[in-house]
Amino acid sequence: MKAREYHLLFPIDINEKINARIAKIAHAVKKNDISVF
C-alpha cells in the first residue's frame, strides 16, 4: 500500500491516536512493563 493511499484511508487524527498508543507502549516496554499488552 502506498503512503498516499494510507493517508486517504486513515485521517490524520486517527494517525495521531495510533502514534500516541505506540509511544505509550514503547514507554512501557522501556520500563519493562508488559501489562500494557
Q: What is the pLDDT of residues 13-36, one digit of tens each?
A: 777 888 889 888 888 888 876 665
**16 lies in some domain:** yes
The number of distinct structural domains making up the chain is 1
Higher pLDDT, 23 or 1: 23
**37, pLDDT greater than 60:** no
**23 lies in some domain:** yes
Nearest to 10 by CA among 25, 18, 26: 18
**26 lies in some domain:** yes
**25 lies in some domain:** yes
pLDDT given at position 6: 61
Task: Output the pTM of the full model.
Answer: 0.45
Q: How far apart are CA 35 and CA 37, in angstroms?
A: 5
Label each residue of 1-37 as H, E or C.
CCHHHHHHHCCHHHHHHHHHHHHHHHHHHHCCCHHHC
Structural domain that includes position 27: 8-36
